[in-house]
Amino acid sequence: MRDERELGGAWRRFQRHDFPQPSPDLAAFVDHYWLVSWSYAQPYRQKIVPYPRVNLTVADDGTAVVTGVGSKHGTRVLEGDRTVVGVAFRPGGFRPFLGRPVATITDHQLPAAEIFDGIPTEPTVEAVEAMLRRHRPEPDPRAEEAADLVATIAAKPEITRVDELGRPVRQLQRLFAEYVGINPKWVIRRYRLHEVTERLAKGATIDWAGLAAELGYADQAHFVRDFTKMFGESPTHYAQRY
């Protein structure tokens, strides 16, 4: 039995979201902030879909964690009345704060206090930005290079293979492990599948076989397998969320 609160956009009745942009002096490191508050009388299993970004979250109960890039979907149980502020770092943007390859925290979560001191006691963007400024590193040209490559992948649907990025594959793999936290093949696959969820959100009628071919899959079965691995459910099952 599916939770009716996840179907047809019903979750919007229980959650509120906002996505403020970073201040100019932090824009080299931060893609955006995300604010979420929820109210659930009964526990709700929230699906978490991965992006090639490290996240820092500060909750209203005082907990603060850094979450590395996830290689596949996850879930989080939401209950009660809570507020969380999150920092979605640019691809590559967390490497200067971490001081080691971002791949070392892929699929892992660690206390934010291991990297930052003076964790905010209130989940506000202003407090989080003040903390980031105290730890702000020097800009890293390699981080910018990684961010530009991920942006190119996101913006160009025709890119379906790593060798289409115009760089030696081994060189790209090393750069992505160091700065992004996950390999370039995964990033390409994630953004091509993101286009599927965007179309679903807009209510588009999908020709699944045609879409699989458009995204560079040999057949529909391979597409469905990749989608299910990434999102934890088949495309048609996922579509019911909209």
Per-residue pLDDT tens over the stretch 30-49: 999 999 999 999 999 999 98
Integer angstrom CA distances of residue 125 from 32, 85, 122, 134: 10, 7, 9, 14
Predicted pLDDT of residue 206? 87
pTM, two decimals, is: 0.92
Could you give the CA distance from residue 14 to residue 194 in angstroms, rounded to a whole number?
24
Say whether pLDDT at 236 is over 90: no
Per-residue pLDDT tens over the stretch 95-120: 999 999 999 999 999 999 999 999 99
Average pLDDT, rounded, for the chain: 94
Structure tokens at 231: 């999102």
Say whether pLDDT at 63 is over 80: yes
Angle, vertex CA 183, rays to CA 57 and CA 102, nearest 5 = 40
CATH top-level class for 142-239? mainly alpha
Q: Which of 38, 48, 33, 41 lies closest to 15 in space, CA to CA?
A: 38
Say whether pLDDT at 1 is over 80: no
Question: Could you tell me where the DSSP H helices lie in 10-161?
Answer: 95-98, 125-134, 141-155
* Helix-strand-coil split of the chain, %, nearest 5: 45, 20, 35
The fraction of the chain above a pLDDT of 90, given in percent, is 77
User: First and final CA of the chain: distance in angstroms?
Assistant: 17
Predicted pLDDT of residue 201? 83
Say whether pLDDT at 92 is over 80: yes
Residues of the chain with CATH 2.60.120: 4-139
Could you give the CA distance from residue 135 to residue 118 in angstroms, rounded to a whole number?
10
Beta-carbon contacts of residue 85 (< 8 Å; ≥ 6 apart):
33, 34, 35, 57, 58, 123, 124, 125, 128
For domain 4-139, say whether CATH 1.10.3470 is its number: no
Could you give the CA distance from residue 144 to residue 28 in angstroms, rounded to a whole number?
8
Per-residue pLDDT tens over the stretch 207-225: 989 989 888 888 899 999 9
Say whether pLDDT at 189 is over 90: yes
Q: Which of 55, 13, 20 lies closest to 37 in space, CA to CA?
A: 13
Looking up tokens 């992006």 gives: 51
| DSSP structure class, residue 203 | T
> Mind giving me the DSSP string for 154-192?
HH-TT--SGGGGSS-HHHHHHHHHHHTSS-HHHHHHHHH
The fraction of the chain above a pLDDT of 70, given in percent, is 100
Helix, strand, or coil here: 208?
helix
Residues of the chain with CATH 1.10.10.60: 142-239
